[in-house]
């Protein structure tokens, strides 16, 4: 026993020393030095763990200074315990504090020592109850965020020692608040923004906002409110009211007297059945220039939009005379309702309407006074039952830029419909019943525009000279085009992108492609039934950069198939049935950078004609039957600089017996190259080297003639 005792004592000493060292390390890591960032003079960002300890500011930032001192502290896994090591003086310098912990019940004792605090973030801490009025010490607090907790009772929570207090923004979203006592916010007279969204609030009869005389933003969305009961009528400066996702069935002037003040009025996803004229009218008493009033009524049960009342119409015209308000506009969202009837003067009370969304309704006829839409830029009529368009409706929309008519019943577009519109950027007519268009009387924005006619039954399209001005992109995919010569775009000299994918085209020859020669840079012919492409088919498309021919029935090519495509960068031949491809048929593609032959079940890909290619050429070879012997040879030549052609795949495979540099391949029939093939490779490499030498000699001769001989001639001239 005596012999063992010293060892036992030594063991206890060692354990004690380890504990001391461990505690020293832990205490020194509350606010690690590497997490203390000096952003600028007397401005710091500090990240601590558990407690705020071991931080000292420079003397010039602790004593009287002419520069503002800002200390932003984040505490992860925060605890509330204090001990003798807590630097209370430092706590008093903190201006922004974020605490992350799990506190079901808390007194937030730390706030007693943070009198300079301006911004407090307590988001997502699981807080159910806050005791002892901890915010009362924070006389400089401007922003308080208590979102994503479990608060149920906020009565008497927001009390301050000094009045009026400085709190301007209070966030209580995503809690479990059910009741709002009348005096819940009684002391918050400086509040500008209040967020109570995503709670369980259903009753506002105690008028909890009566004292918030400076409030501009109120978020009550995603609660269970059925009636406003005049609870916000006292908020004379309120500009933004969010009521989305409640159970409101009726809004009238008694329930919302300040509705005309609102710059944002969001009552979407409620149970409204009527649109009353007062919901749409606005006055501009306290709006600023360039304000946009947003009226959002989507996702309700509205069936009709009635005419504006005479009072609202006269009010609109009187406001038009006020020159101070020339830069104020309105956006109206009526989408996702059951609207089938829109009266002719429905939008007459709206001043300077620039956006109207009527998508996903049951509109059959859209015939309204076009003068009320003279300023409109965005009009969405998609997902309705519209079969006819009226010139008198669109005639005054000279500012219209984005028009969405998709998912309707259009089978014809009158020549005159859009004769007065000159600023289109996007016109979407997808998913209609249009089979042919012999003219497209559309004029696009000076910067260019897009016309999408995909998913119709279109088999013929003609854009004659003078129509479709400034059309840059035309999308015709998923139609019934079998003869591309019936799509005449030859006069359309500004077209850059054409999508003819997913049609019924079977053959291509020069007479079938009536396309602009000088401007087209992108042509998509994928997902057709193309079996044959005649020589010189693309010869006039000299500026084409991308040609997509994937998902067709191509098996082979001829000399001259791609003649004229001297600027082509990207050729997509994936998902065809090309078993053998010789690069000699693609020699016209001098600028080719990307070639895709994916998923062709290809057995032979002869790249020998590209040994002198000027640019790096990526060849995607996924899902073919190319041998590992061939793949290894081509990759060696690329890696050794003998060629610029590199086989690759979109997703590299792991190492395996049938992969080379992550590219899957077929097992070799012969594991070694024959002597004859070695000589062929050597000859090819010698040829490449000779070509490079010749190019270098030509370049030197060029510079010699250009500069040296010119200098000689000058000297001779002087003599």
CA distances from 498 to 283, 457, 559 (A): 47, 18, 25
Name the packing angle between helices 628-639 and 675-703 (round to 10°).
Answer: 30
Cα separation of 148 and 235, whole Å? 26
Name residues whose C-beta falls within 8 Å of residue 456's C-beta, 6 or more positions apart in sequence: 429, 430, 431, 432, 433, 434, 435, 479
Residue 556 confidence (pLDDT): 93
Given a cut of 70, is residue 675 above it in pLDDT? no
Greater confidence (328 vs 83) lies with: 328
Cα separation of 96 and 100, whole Å? 14
Kindly state the helix (H) or strand (E) to which residue 391 belongs, with its residue range.
Answer: helix 391-394
Listed residue (475, 484, 526, 533) closest to 502, CA to CA: 526
Residue 66 confidence (pLDDT): 65
Kindly state the helix (H) or strand (E) to which residue 581 belongs, with its residue range.
Answer: strand 580-582
Kindly state the helix (H) or strand (E) to which residue 28 belongs, with its residue range.
Answer: helix 4-28
Listed residue (73, 77, 126, 81) closest to 104, CA to CA: 126
Cα separation of 473 and 451, whole Å? 6
Name residues whose C-beta falls within 8 Å of residue 658's C-beta, 6 or more positions apart in sequence: 628, 664, 665, 666, 667
Dihedral Cα 424, 429, 434, 439, nearest 10 deg: 10
Confidence label for 5 from pLDDT (cuts 50, 70 and 90): very low
Average pLDDT, the chain: 86
Residue 80 confidence (pLDDT): 74
Kindly state the helix (H) or strand (E) to which residue 462 belongs, with its residue range.
Answer: strand 460-462
- The region of weakest confidence among 207-216, 240-249, 295-304, 679-688 is 679-688
Listed residue (430, 478, 427) closest to 448, CA to CA: 427
Task: Tokens 């209070």: give the residue.
Answer: 170
Neighbour tally for 637: CB within 10 Å: 20
Mean pLDDT of 94-109: 92
- The region of weakest confidence among 19-23, 63-67, 87-91, 160-164 is 19-23
Given a cut of 60, is residue 423 above it in pLDDT? yes
Given a cut of 60, is residue 64 above it in pLDDT? no
3-class SS of residue 329: strand
Cα separation of 422 and 425, whole Å? 9
Confidence label for 406 from pLDDT (cuts 50, 70 and 90): very high
Listed residue (573, 569, 593) closest to 581, CA to CA: 573
The one-character DSSP state at 278 is: H
Residue 628 confidence (pLDDT): 92
Name residues whose C-beta falls within 8 Å of residue 643's C-beta, 6 or more positions apart in sequence: 607, 610, 611, 613, 634, 637, 688
Residue 217 confidence (pLDDT): 97
Given a cut of 90, is residue 260 above it in pLDDT? no
Residue 696 confidence (pLDDT): 55
Question: 21-31 pLDDT, tens per residue?
Answer: 233 333 346 88
Asked whether the beta carbons of 393 and 381 are under 8 A apart, the reply is no
The one-character DSSP state at 109 is: G
- The region of weakest confidence among 50-59, 110-119, 339-348 is 50-59
Mean pLDDT of 56-75: 82
What is the bridge-based pairing of β-strands 105-106 and 217-219?
A: unpaired
Mean pLDDT of 295-317: 80
Cα separation of 475 and 651, whole Å? 30
Mean pLDDT of 417-421: 89
Confidence label for 624 from pLDDT (cuts 50, 70 and 90): very high
Residue 17 confidence (pLDDT): 31
CA distances from 145 to 96, 123, 213 (A): 12, 6, 21
3-class SS of residue 64: coil
Burial class (CB in 10 A: 0-12, 13-18, 19+), 139: middle
Q: Where are the beta strands (DSSP E) in 8-131?
A: 36-40, 43-49, 70-76, 96-100, 105-106, 119-121, 129-130
Residue 586 confidence (pLDDT): 93
What is the bridge-based pairing of β-strands 426-428 and 402-404?
A: parallel
Given a cut of 50, is residue 507 above it in pLDDT? yes
Residue 681 confidence (pLDDT): 42
Greater confidence (351 vs 230) lies with: 230
CA distances from 375 to 345, 399, 400, 402 (A): 16, 6, 8, 12
Cα separation of 527 and 529, whole Å? 7
| Range 102-271 has CATH code 3.80.10.10 | yes
Residue 673 confidence (pLDDT): 37
Asked whether the beta carbons of 346 and 306 are under 8 A apart, the reply is yes
Confidence label for 581 from pLDDT (cuts 50, 70 and 90): very high
Mean pLDDT of 451-463: 95
Given a cut of 50, is residue 203 above it in pLDDT? yes
Cα separation of 474 and 489, whole Å? 10
3-class SS of residue 6: helix
**0.75 surpassed by pTM:** yes
Neighbour tally for 676: CB within 10 Å: 8
DSSP characters for 660-710? Answer: ETTEE-BPPSSSS--HHHHHHHHHHHHHHHHHHHHHHHHHHHHHIIIIIHH
């Amino acid at each position: 026993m005596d012999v063992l005792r010293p060892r036992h004592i030594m063991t206890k000493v060692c354990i004690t020393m380890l504990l001391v060292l461990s505690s020293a390390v832990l205490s020194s890591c509350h606010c690690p030095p590497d997490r203390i960032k000096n952003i600028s003079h007397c401005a710091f960002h500090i990240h601590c763990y558990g407690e705020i300890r071991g931080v000292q500011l420079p003397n010039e930032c602790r004593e009287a200074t002419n520069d503002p001192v800002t200390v932003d502290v984040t505490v992860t896994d925060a605890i509330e315990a204090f001990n003798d090591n807590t630097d209370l003086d430092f706590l008093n310098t903190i201006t922004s504090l974020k605490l992350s912990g799990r506190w079901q019940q808390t007194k937030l004792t730390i706030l007693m020592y943070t009198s300079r605090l301006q911004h407090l973030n307590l988001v997502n801490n699981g807080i159910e109850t806050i005791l002892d009025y901890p915010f009362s010490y924070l006389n400089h607090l401007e922003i308080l965020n208590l979102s994503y907790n479990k608060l149920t009772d906020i009565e008497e929570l927001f009390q301050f020692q000094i009045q009026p207090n400085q709190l301007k923004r209070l966030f209580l979203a995503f809690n479990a608040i059910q009741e709002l006592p009348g005096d819940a916010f009684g002391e918050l007279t400086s509040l500008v923004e209040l967020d109570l969204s995503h709670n369980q609030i259903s009753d506002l009869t105690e008028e909890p906002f009566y004292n918030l005389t400076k409030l501009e933003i109120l978020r009550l969305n995603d609660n269970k409110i059925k009636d406003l009961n005049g609870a916000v009528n006292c908020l004379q400066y309120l500009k933004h009211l969010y009521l989305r996702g409640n159970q409101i069935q009726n809004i009238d002037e008694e329930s919302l007297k300040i509705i005309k003040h609102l710059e944002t009025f969001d009552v979407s996803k409620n149970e409204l059945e009527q649109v009353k004229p007062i919901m749409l009218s606005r006055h501009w008493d306290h709006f600023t220039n360039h304000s946009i009033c947003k009226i959002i009524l989507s996702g309700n049960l509205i069936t009709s939009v009635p005419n504006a009342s005479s009072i609202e119409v006269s009010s609109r015209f009187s406001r038009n005379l006020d020159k101070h308000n020339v830069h104020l506009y309105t956006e109206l969202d009526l989408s996702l309702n059951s609207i089938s009837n829109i009266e002719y003067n429905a939008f007459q009370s709206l001043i300077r309407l620039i956006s109207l969304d009527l998508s996903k309704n049951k509109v059959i006829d859209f015939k309204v006074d076009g003068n009320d839409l003279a300023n409109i830029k965005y009009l969405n009529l998609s997902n309705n039952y519209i079969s006819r368009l009226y010139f008198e409706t669109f005639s005054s929309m000279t500012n219209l830029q984005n028009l969405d008519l998709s998912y309707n019943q259009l089978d014809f577009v009158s020549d005159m419909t859009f004769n007065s519109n000159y600023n289109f950027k996007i016109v979407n007519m997808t998913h209609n019943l249009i089979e042919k268009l012999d003219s497209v009387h559309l004029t696009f924005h000076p910067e260019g525009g897009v016309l999408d006619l995909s998913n119709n039954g279109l088999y013929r399209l003609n854009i004659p000279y003078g129509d479709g001005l400034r059309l840059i992109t035309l999308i015709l995919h998923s139609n019934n085009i079998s003869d591309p010569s019936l799509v005449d775009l030859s006069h359309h000299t500004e077209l850059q992108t054409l999508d003819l994918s997913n049609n019924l085209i079977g053959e291509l020859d020069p007479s079938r492609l009536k396309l602009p020669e000088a401007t087209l840079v992108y042509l998509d012919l994928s997902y057709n039934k193309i079996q044959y492409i005649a020589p010189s088919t693309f010869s006039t498309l000299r500026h084409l950069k991308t040609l997509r021919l994937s998902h067709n029935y191509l098996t082979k090519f001829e000399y001259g198939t791609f003649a004229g495509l001297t600027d082509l960068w990207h050729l997509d031949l994936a998902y065809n049935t090309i078993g053998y491809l010789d690069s000699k048929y693609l020699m016209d593609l001098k600028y080719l950078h990307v070639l895709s032959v994916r998923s062709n079940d290809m057995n032979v890909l002869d790249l020998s004609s590209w040994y002198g290619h000027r640019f790096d050429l990526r060849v995607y070879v996924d899902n073919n039957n190319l041998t590992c012997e061939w793949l290894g040879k081509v990759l060696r030549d690329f890696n050794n600089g003998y060629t610029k052609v590199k086989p690759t795949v979109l997703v590299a495979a792991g190492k395996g017996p049938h992969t080379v540099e992550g590219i899957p391949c077929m097992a070799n029939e012969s594991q070694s190259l024959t002597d004859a093939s070695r000589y062929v490779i050597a000859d090819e490499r010698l040829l490449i080297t000779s070509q490079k030498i010749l190019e270098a000699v030509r370049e030197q001769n060029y510079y010699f003639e250009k500069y040296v001989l010119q200098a000689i001639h000058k000297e001779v001239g002087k003599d």
